[in-house]
């Protein structure tokens, strides 16, 4: 049998140059990755500053005097921080009542959506009944209907019930979230059926399985849904504006909108009211950041 000899140079040159010749492209790729990462960070920081700029401008304007807002060239920082603008803005209208109304409205909406989404989502995920998938697709199809299209029917409904300018009037039509039902259905489908089968063997019925087994496992999805429901209810403007008439039933967003008409030239007061309205959502976000990020990921299903 003949021997096959391999030269040290080979096709890549002397002394294993073929192996060493692969190093420069690898090094080049590593060097090129650094500028790409730097560009990605720069783009992220620029996007963050762009998003934060309106809020920073609002906060700084709330501390300025009336004449400073219209000064030229425009001032970025106030000459003297005027915290009394917050006192003046919150006492110019009954914002205490507005905050209470928003809190009651948001609490009712969150409670209703958690209840209806959890029960309906579990039914669509686990219970077997005729026409389940078709009914679920019908539910999903309602998400394509713009909200403004159903404003008038909703108002006529609460007007017939005599609920205009009441808590039940502004909250009753917000208690069901189709997206929330979809979210809970998808989450319940990820729960292992073996746990439910074990509870069924022990004699538990459908309601006991839902309440004691499936629902505790769905706490992350419930927290995500509750967070987004609260934010949507707190910043809701159009529906409370239509469903309420008296000053005592206005929510925060409607109060700020009417504040603009009442104090048309006092921008510092308006910005102070706006900053105060954002604070509850900001505090809620600081304590629920992980659920907020998870909700953004789940929002892709919407």
Q: Residue 126, Cβ neighbours under 10 Å: how many?
A: 17
Domains of the chain, earliest start first: 42-82 (no CATH), 93-301 (1.10.3720.10)
pLDDT at 35: 82
**pTM to 2 decimals?**
0.78
270 vs 253: CA distance, rounded Å? 11
Q: What is the pLDDT of residues 141-196, one digit of tens each?
A: 998 988 889 999 999 999 999 999 999 999 999 999 999 999 999 999 988 888 88
In what helix (H) or strand (E) does residue 283 lie, and over which residues does it extend? helix 267-287
Q: Is the pLDDT assigned to residue 302 strictly greater than 60?
A: no
92-140 pLDDT, tens digit each = 889 999 999 999 999 999 999 999 999 999 999 998 889 999 999 998 9
Cα angle 253, 258, 260 (rounded to 5 degrees) comes to 100
Q: Span 73-91, mean pLDDT?
A: 86
């Amino acid at each position: 049998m003949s021997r096959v000899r391999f030269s040290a140079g080979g096709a890549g040159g002397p002394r294993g140059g073929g192996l060493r010749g692969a190093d420069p492209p690898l090094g080049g790729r590593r060097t090129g990755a650094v500028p790409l990462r730097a560009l990605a960070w720069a783009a992220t920081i620029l996007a963050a500053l762009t998003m934060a700029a309106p809020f920073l401008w609002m906060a700084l304007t709330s501390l300025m005097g009336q004449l400073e807002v219209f000064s030229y060239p425009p001032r970025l920082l106030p000459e003297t921080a005027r915290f009394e603008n917050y006192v003046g803005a919150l006492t110019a209208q009954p914002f205490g009542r507005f905050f209470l109304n928003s809190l009651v409205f948001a609490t009712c909406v969150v409670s209703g959506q958690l209840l209806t989404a959890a029960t309906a989502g579990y039914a669509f995920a686990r219970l077997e009944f005729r026409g389940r998938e078709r009914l679920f697709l019908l539910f999903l199809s309602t998400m394509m209907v713009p909200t403004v299209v159903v404003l008038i029917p909703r108002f006529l409904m609460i007007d017939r019930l005599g609920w205009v300018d009441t808590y039940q009037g502004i909250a009753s039509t917000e208690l069901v979230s189709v997206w929330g039902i979809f979210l809970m259905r998808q989450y319940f489908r990820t729960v292992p059926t073996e746990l439910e089968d074990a509870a069924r063997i022990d004699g538990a019925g459908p309601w006991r399985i839902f309440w004691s087994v499936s629902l505790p496992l769905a706490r992350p999805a419930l927290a995500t849904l509750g967070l987004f429901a609260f934010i949507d209810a707190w910043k809701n403007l159009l529906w409370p504006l239509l469903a309420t008439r008296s000053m005592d039933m206005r929510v925060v967003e409607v109060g700020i909108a009417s504040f603009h008409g009442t104090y048309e030239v006092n921008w510092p007061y308006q910005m102070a009211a706006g900053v105060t309205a954002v604070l509850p959502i900001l505090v809620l976000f600081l304590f629920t950041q992980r659920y907020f990020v998870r909700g953004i990921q789940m929002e892709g299903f919407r």
